[in-house]
Structure 1
Amino acid sequence: MFLFFLKSNTFFIISLFSGEVKQKNAIADGRNRRVLQDIGNFVNERAAAQGKKPITEGAVVVAQAVKGAQRKQVDKPKPENVIVISSDEKSEKSKHVTKRQGSSRKDVKTLTSILSARSKAACGLVNKLNDSIKNIDGADAGNELAVTEYVDDIYKFYKLTEDEGRVRDYMDLQPDINAKMRSILVDWLIEVHRKFELMPETLYLTMNIVDRFLSMKVVRRKELQLVGISAMLIACKYEEIWAPEVNDFVFISDNAYAREHVLVMEKTILDKLEWYLTVPTPYVFLVRFVKASVPSDDKMEDLVFYLAELGLMQYPSAVSYCPSMLAAAAVYAARCTLGESPLWSETLKHHTGYSEEQLIECAKLLVKFHSTAAESKLKALYRKFSSPDRNAVALLAPAKCLLPIAIHDGEC
């Protein structure tokens, strides 16, 4: 049995049985195996001492074989310039940078961004944005996790596929439950979601699973809560790092169902949905649209999410509007509530894809839910957004210009 490892340019073979160490020269045909230390464009002193030439981004330097193998001394090469190929499309000249000037990686565009820009230019997709449309991704240009090169294409894909995961009016298919029972279930699930301190994505995915399942299968009234906790269990497994266990949901439902009941319902839901869980919920659009609502602060963000969750809890808005429209209407209603000017900017129109006229009806419905939330018997959402950590946005006066009585009085 032998153990092989690499050290500089020498290949050692250690015999584990005899304890002998054999040394074998790894230099063959004038080629050396380089230690993976510096993968940039700049050559360190170690590589220079070994007589290696820099590898640039436009060419491959082929090392010539050393004829004098018996030569014992190698002259140290003089400091050399490293050629960095510029990524500017309009310039083909190369820039010469010395090693003392340090790395210039921050100034060099990624290959992906260069290719994307060239592809769009070749297809005629590069249009100069209107000066009134602000670049909301400029601050994230250096953040790889923000994927600024792809974010617009990602949301175009979301808009194209959102109809596949949404539901229409299905209550006529349910003889034993109604829209009010659904709202009671959502109110309780919001309380459970807050109790377990789950991610916001989990709540939106939970309601998507509940609505899609109810549109496919008739559910008895006594099983509606079981559908709710099973859907949240699935959403937790999809979104959360530390998902609550089955026994946690059994306990929080006051042992109304056994553990086996939850597992059977979980399997039934997944079978009906054919394991299709990657759907664009209103949450993914809310994150983007709030970012486009400049200027934006924590109060604006909390109010947008409050209005969106009001729309999620109420059956008419949940089934009548697609996720992107519900999210855009929540942003519009929030701006009306806070008195932002203008109410709808070119930046928001560009990123949401909706005009003010397209959102007005949905926004009126959300503001109506806001105006009646304080008197409603379902208080979970109202308490959630009345707390100081949510800037108490539920206590704000609703937008008067979107209330029906205000419209008749000509206040809009």
Structure 2
Amino acid sequence: MASKKQAGPGGAVPAQEQKNGGDAARLVRKPMATFPQQAAARGRRALADVGNLMNGRPSLVNRQKQAAAATENGRKAVDVGSKKPLIPQAAARNRRPLADVRNLIINDRAAPANRQKPLTAVNRNGKAVMLKECKVKPEVIVISPDTEKEKKAKTSGGPRFCRRVPTLFDNLRKCSRASDGVVSSPKKTDPYDIDTPDSCNELAVVEYVEDIYKFYKSTEGTCLPLSSYMSSQAEISERMRAILIDWIIEVQYRLILMPETLYLTVYIIDQYLSMESVPRKELQLVGISAMLIASKYEEIWAPLVKDLLCLCDNAFTRDQVLTKEKAILDRLHWNLTVPTMYMFIVRYLKAAMGDEKLENMAFFYSELALVQYTMLIYPPSETAAACVYAARCTLGMNPRWTDILEHHTGLTEPQLLDCARRLIRFHALAPESKQKAVYKKYSSPKLGAVALQSPDKKLLPV
């Protein structure tokens, strides 16, 4: 059987003889056309060069680098192994991969690995031109805290005041007053604007506060309870009412309710008693239901019904309280937005520009007025002004009544004397009175112990 020997690299395949089964067979083969060894070597590709071929053609990146190396300073590409010049065809075949760029030798000197090659381009004449390297400086943003000098420079401008900007409401109000003929009438100038410190406070409603209190004073007479409703009550008396209000004040202080809740509760009780005849056994039920209504209107978290029932020793049931609550609201036509004495006294204390002691003393007189049935003959605005006047007299403030207070209250000192004398007399009788909830409340150091102050003797009736 005949066998073949593969031809060596670059050599011809000779004829071979083999014997099989005693018979000699001579196989004669013609020599194959061979290529020179150097040409065969040129046609081969290294494994590392496979990555540089794209669709059988050298990659663009390798071509650009070879062109840049060949044209720089008129140098010719040199084979690293043989250091012989290559013809263009052979140079194109033996291009080095990207990893072999650092192995090139220029003028028998190895190029440093970390040297950055200059950028070149070809102009219209086909000559290589070196491009200038543009160095862009990175922009650095430095964030540093203000120095002490800068902080002082910012805060050294002194106190800043917010300038009041005219609003659309101001223009509408001017137009409305002009149409009503109000502008032509002489207007009393305010000697001191008490709302200037609150000009930046949106909750103070500086733009509307004057109109709000004018509206309160004009409407307080339409929603006053009758000052003589006790004549229509068959089973209750002034003393029973004083006991109820004194207990309501104590409950409000224990539950830490807002003062608005207390004053609204007393208003609801008096207004309902002015309209309905209440039996004696239901008087406390009216008080509990009125406090529940006022708490729902004024408080964020109103007390629970079971808590109020516990305070009255469970004398009533839950259904009785809810039924009476609905009956009171129906009788008052659900009208709970009324000007109480608290609304006026807050405004007048702001006009008085007093300290905390003056505020506690004024509220002490106002709660004494809540207990007394005879104080219903005065409107809430007059009683509030008399409380501020009596407080200033008791504390010995001079002057007793200022022009600013007269401007904002609309009342002169002689107009307040009658009501103020009643309040001073209640203060003098408070230590011996049976209803001592208000006296004990304002005798505590927490409220300045203002109840322990001696009342003004000049205002005491002889």
Q: Which residue of 2 aligns with 1:136?
A: 194
Q: Hey, what does 2:14 align to over in structure 1? A: none
Alpha-carbon contact 2:305-2:318 (below 8 Å) kept: yes
| Residues 272, 332 of structure 2: 8 Å contact kept | yes
Please list the CA deviations of residues 301-322 of structure 1 after superposition, one character each: whole Å capped at 9, or x if unmatched.
00001101101111001x1101
1:120/1:126 contact within 8 Å kept? no
- CA spacing shift, 1:351–1:120, aligned 2, 3 Å: farther
Aligned to 1:400: 457
Q: Give me the whole-angstrom Cα distance separating, in 2, the residues matched to 1:395 and 1:321.
A: 26
- Post-superposition Cα deviations, 1:267-304, rounded to whole Å, max 9, x if no partner, equal 1111111111110000000100011113x010000000
Q: Distance in 1 between matches of 2:164 and 2:314?
A: 60
Q: Distance in 2 between matches of 1:214 and 1:291?
A: 33
Query: Is 1:112–2:168 an aligned residue pair?
Result: yes
- Partners of 1:113 and 1:260 in 2: how far apart? 48
Distance in structure 2 (CA, Å) of the matches to 1:116 and 1:387: 50
Q: Please tell me the residue identity of whatever aligns with 2:284.
A: Q
Q: Does 1:361 align with 2:425?
A: no
1:380 aligns with 2:437: yes
Instruction: Find the aligned partners of 2:223 and 2:170 in 1 and give their Cα distance.
Output: 34
Alignment counterpart, residue 222 of structure 1, candidates 281, 288, 311: 281
Q: Which residue of structure 2 aligns with residue 298 of structure 1?
A: 356
What amino acid is aligned across from residue 257 of structure 1 in structure 2?
A: F
Cross-structure match for 1:163: 221
Mean Cα deviation higher: 113-122 or 306-315: 113-122
Describe the SS at the equivalent of 2:432.
Answer: coil
TM-score (norm 1): 0.69
Q: Deviations over 1:372-399 (max 9, x none)?
A: 0011111111111111111111100011
Q: Distance in 2 between matches of 1:127 and 1:163?
A: 24
TM-superposed deviation, 1:106: 5.1
| Mapped partners of 2:363, 2:331: distance in 1 | 30
Deviation at 1:149, TM superposition (A): 1.2
- Alpha-carbon distance between aligned partners in 1 of 2:381 and 2:163, rounded to the nearest angstrom: 36
Shift of 1:112: 3.4
Aligned-partner Cα distance in 2 for 1:353–1:328: 9
Given the alignment of the two structures, is residue 340 of structure 1 paired with residue 400 of structure 2, yes or no? no
Match of 2:345 among 262, 266, 286: 286
SS of the equivalent of 2:217 reads helix
Cα deviations by residue, 1:158-212 (Å, 9 ceiling, x for unpaired): 0011112211211000010000000000110111111110000000000000000
Letter paired with 2:309: V
Partner of 1:351: 408
What's the CA shift string for 1:28-69, capped at 9, x where partnerless? xxxxxxxxxxxxxxxxxxxxxxxxxxxxxxxxxxxxxxxxxx
1:234-273 map, 5 Å? 234-273=293-332
Change (3 A) 1:289 1:247: same
Find the partner of 2:203 among 137, 141, 145.
Answer: 145
Q: What is the total number of aligned residue pairs between the two structures?
A: 298
What per-residue deviation string (whole Å, max 9, x for no partner) do you get for residues 238-276 of structure 1?
000000011111111100001111011111111111111
Structure with bigger RCO (C-alpha 8 Å, 6+ apart): 1
> Hey, what's the Cα distance between the residues in 2 that align with 1:369 and 1:360?
14
Query: Displacement of 1:129 after TM fit?
Result: 2.1
2:155 counterpart residue number:
none
Task: Give the secondary-structure state (helix, strand or coil) at the position aligned to 1:218.
Answer: coil
Q: Distance in 1 between matches of 2:419 and 2:163?
A: 45
Alignment CA distance shift 1:374-1:190 (3 Å): same
* Separation of aligned partners in 2, 1:303 and 1:118: 40
Q: Which amino acid counterpart does residue 144 of structure 1 have in structure 2?
A: E
Give the distance between the partners of 1:300 and 1:272, measured in 2 at CA.
38
Root-mean-square deviation over aligned CA pairs: 1.9
Alignment match, 2:379: 322
> Which residue does 1:189 correspond to in 2?
248
**4+ residue runs of structure 1 moved beyond 3 angstroms?**
104-108, 116-122, 124-128
Partners of 1:236 and 1:244 within 8 A in 2 = yes
What is the letter of the counterpart of residue 446 of structure 2? Answer: D
Q: Secondary structure at the match of 1:215?
A: helix
Q: Which residue number corresponds to residue 53 of structure 1?
A: none
Structure ID, larger Rg: 2
Mapped pair 1:180 → 2:239: yes
Q: Which moved more, 1:356-365 or 1:135-144?
A: 135-144
- Name stretches of at least 5 consecutive residues in structure 2 with no aligned partner: 1-159
User: 1:305-316 to 2 correspondence within 5 Å?
Assistant: 305-316=363-374
Is this contact kept in 1: 2:164–2:199, CA < 8 A? no
CA distance in 1, matches of 2:224, 2:174: 36
**Cα gap change, 1:336 to 1:163, in 2 (>3 Å):** same
Gaps of 5+ in 1: 1-103, 406-412
